[in-house]
Amino acid sequence: GQQVMQIPQYQHVQEGEDFTTYCNSSTTLSNIQWYKQRPGGHPVFLIQLVKSGEVKKQKRLTFQFGEAKKNSSLHITATQTTDVGTYFCAGRILSYGGSQGNLIFGKGTKLSVKP
């Protein structure tokens, strides 16, 4: 079936270091969404990217959508302990014949930050 691959699965950083998680799809995506789930919490929507090559920023977070709309990345500059959690990407397949509403979630990248 359709898959969205996300790497790395885990990332441990020292506070102040940068962090990046990557999402890759074998098929073209119509859009991609990013969610954050704090430990013990539920996923919370961060952002959606729609256009080829799109770059969006939220304070220390930078989101990119690849030119071919098959990959995306989330980069956090100078991590803080509040960034701890699991970051999920969710891609909507462009020409998915079944449910067009089905977002395909990556497995997530679990970020831990040492103070």
Question: Which residues contact another protein by CB under 8 A?
Answer: 30-31, 33, 35, 41-45, 48, 50, 88, 90, 92, 99-103, 105-108
Q: How many helices (H) and strands (E) does the chain have?
A: 0, 11
CA distances from 81 to 9, 12, 71, 105 (A): 19, 11, 27, 25
Least distance from C-beta 42 to another protein, angstroms? 4
Least distance from C-beta 4 to another protein, angstroms? 9
Least distance from C-beta 113 to another protein, angstroms? 21
- 3-class SS at 63? strand
Q: Give the nearer residue to another protein in terms of CB position, either 14 or 99.
A: 99
Q: Give the nearer residue to another protein in terms of CB position, either 85 or 108.
A: 108
Cα dihedral value 59, 62, 63, 66, nearest 10: 150
Q: Give the nearer residue to another protein in terms of CB position, either 75 or 107.
A: 107
Antiparallel, parallel or unpaired: β 109-114 and 10-14: parallel
Least distance from C-beta 85 to another protein, angstroms? 13
